[in-house]
Amino acid sequence: MKKKTILDMARPDIATFRAAQKMPVVLVVDNVRSLNNIGSLLRTSDGFAVAEVMLCGISAVEPGAEVHKTALGAEDSVAWTHYATTLEALGELRRRGYTLCCLEQVMESVELQAYSVDTASAGYAIVVGNEVDGVDPAVVDACDVCLEIPQLGTKHSLNVAVSAAVALWHFYESYLPELRK
């Protein structure tokens, strides 16, 4: 089999992509310290047409060489903003009518595959957390629902960028027919 080239995939340029319809999903990044993870989150957000990325707290806001190494230019194609605190970002999203979804392992969490995405809703925020501590407990409490990716291995969790990609894919599947119109 022959691999597709960038021309075969007909990818848009940055200006066209920024103007294109996005799924009404915002990725909220709660105190993620690794610049490589930030870059990966931006690249995944580009791939799944995420409306916006909100980098909060200590999450990197300078799209330098370390971010670019994994973002590969997505730091320029994806709309992103910085908030001093994640709770401030969630307040903004709540005012916009978004459903606040926390990706975290809690006693009341819903397994991701069991969560139904309502494409008629105002939109969703997916909150991901720090590589070691996860999502801050106050942020967890501020969310409407906690989603959990079921796992069978010995490790407590997946890498934050991998977890975000899995969760975003779940939402993307629901919005894809609308995005392809």
Q: Which of 5-9, 36-40, 63-67, 145-149 has the highest mean pLDDT?
A: 145-149
Using one digit for the tens of pLDDT, what is the confidence trace for 49-70?
A: 999 999 999 998 776 788 878 8
Residue 45's pLDDT is what?
95
Q: Which domains occur in the chain, in start order? A: 21-143+156-176 (3.40.1280.10)
* pTM given for the model: 0.95
Please give the single-letter amino acid code of residue 48: F
The C-alpha angle with vertex 37 and arms to 126 and 151, in degrees rounded to 5, equals 60
CA 155 to each of CA 26, 118, 143, 165: distance values in angstroms, whole numbers, following the listed order: 27, 31, 25, 18
To the nearest 10°, report the CA torsion of 39, 42, 46, 52.
Answer: -160
Q: Residue 26: in which H helix or E strand, if any?
A: strand 23-30
Q: What is residue 42's predicted lDDT score, i.e. its pLDDT?
A: 93
pLDDT of 73 higher than 80? no
Residue 10: the pLDDT is: 86
CA separation, residue 74 to residues 45, 53, 69 (Å):
8, 11, 10
- 97-155 pLDDT, tens digit per residue, is 999 999 999 999 999 999 999 999 999 999 999 999 999 999 999 999 999 999 999 98
